Amino acid sequence: MSDANATTPRVFIARHGETEWTISGQCTGNTADIPLTARGEDQVRATAALLVGAGKLIDPARLARVFCSPRQRAVRTMELLLGEEDAAAARASASKGDRTEHASRVVLTEDIREWDYGAYEGLRPGEIAERRRSQGKGKWDIWVDGCEDGERPDQVEARLDRLIAEIKAIQAPVIHGGPAPDVLIVAHGHILRAFVKRWLRFPMNFAFAQMMEPGAIGILSYAHHNIEEPALLVGMGFPASS
């Protein structure tokens, strides 16, 4: 018996394309709102050409909602994935606060912004290790320690759980099929890995190694068409070409 098929809602997670700090390995949270590189834009365009469009893996007609980090590297990635109209409308309607919505089904939300690195913003892992050694602290584990002057794991968990509850409320009525059942999230490397942990109901400090390249797409869903069985979709058949 299949756990998932085309009628089971899916949650697609998309990491933004390459930035200069992706190349240098610097922690890129929220204070440095840096753009994609030209190569980063090309990464996302290539992903979109293969995976996004009518009858493709991510079919815009099947998207009930798009949740996007407000940082420009994420918004530009969404723009390249789905087309500029939705992203431009969302940005035009943006206002002060942590969330904006538009009739296009695009939601810019701080709930899926990158982890706040605080004092570690702009630093490389080796530089963070040296800073902590000078302070008499042990090896850094963001999933346990959080970030100095930034976010703790429990704070990140709270905002992700809030977003997950909203996604489940959207998808529960169409768990057995219906119009526009899918959701797309466009965000950042660390926060998307944290999202996967919370989707699977793992604690933040659970040892669950993940990798996600710039411009990559991941897929989450539900086992046995059950909203209470969130799952990682580790493999699927692609739609047949018409």
Q: Can you give the residue range of the structural domain that contains 154?
A: 11-232
How many domains in the chain? 1
In-domain check, residue 238: no
With a cut of 90, say whether residue 3 has pLDDT above it: no
Closest by CA to 116, choosing from 190, 196, 209, is 190
Give yes or no: 224 in active site: no
Annotated binding-site residue? 29: yes
Annotated binding-site residue? 28: yes
> Which tens digits make up the pLDDT trace of 62-115?
999 999 999 999 999 999 999 877 666 655 555 445 576 655 689 999 999 999
| Catalytic choice (114, 121, 188, 190) | 114
In-domain check, residue 142: yes
What mean pLDDT do residues 185-210 have?
A: 97
In-domain check, residue 133: yes
Residue 128 is predicted with a pLDDT of 96
Annotated binding-site residue? 7: no
pLDDT-derived band at 2, boundaries 50, 70, 90: very low
In-domain check, residue 83: yes
In-domain check, residue 195: yes
In-domain check, residue 209: yes
What mean pLDDT do residues 216-237 have?
A: 94
Query: What separation, in Å, do the N-terminal and C-terminal C-alpha atoms of the chain show?
Result: 26
Residue 178 is predicted with a pLDDT of 84
With a cut of 50, say whether residue 198 has pLDDT above it: yes
Full-model pTM: 0.91
**Which pairs from 32-41 meet CB under 8 Å and 24+ separation?**
32/121, 32/122, 33/71, 33/72, 33/73, 34/72, 34/73, 35/72, 35/73, 35/76, 36/73, 36/76, 36/77, 40/16, 40/73, 40/214, 40/215, 41/17, 41/76, 41/80
Give yes or no: 114 in active site: yes
In-domain check, residue 1: no
CATH of the domain at 67: 3.40.50.1240
Q: For residues 76 and 6, which has the higher predicted lDDT (pLDDT)?
A: 76
In-domain check, residue 92: yes
